[in-house]
Amino acid sequence: SGGEVVRLAATDGCAIGAHSVHHLALSHQGFDTRQREILESKTALERLLERRVDAFAYPYGDVCDGA
């Protein structure tokens, strides 16, 4: 839940990063879908934490070029 994420983010040594909105394998998606998944996830997390989020973890470790 959102409260759990906020509490976890306040823990020393814990880094919080975006992960995507729908947990899709991004290399199998078009550019627009990849971009939307990444940016919407980042934006929602930044609103929740009230701070900038720079880290991103690809779902399934499915890294692709041109995200």
pLDDT, one tens digit per residue, over 56-67 is: 999 998 887 655
Contact 35, 67 (CB under 8 A): yes
Structure pTM?
A: 0.82
What tens digit of pLDDT does each residue of 16-65 get?
Answer: 999 999 999 999 999 999 999 999 999 999 999 999 999 999 999 888 76
Res 1: pLDDT: 79
Res 61: pLDDT: 86
CA atoms of 62 and 51, how far apart (whole Å): 26
Res 66: pLDDT: 58
Q: Which residue has the tokens 């971009």?
A: 35
Res 64: pLDDT: 75
Residue 28 tokens, joined: 């199998």
**Residues with Cβ < 8 Å from 45, sequence gap 6 or more?**
5, 16, 17, 18, 53
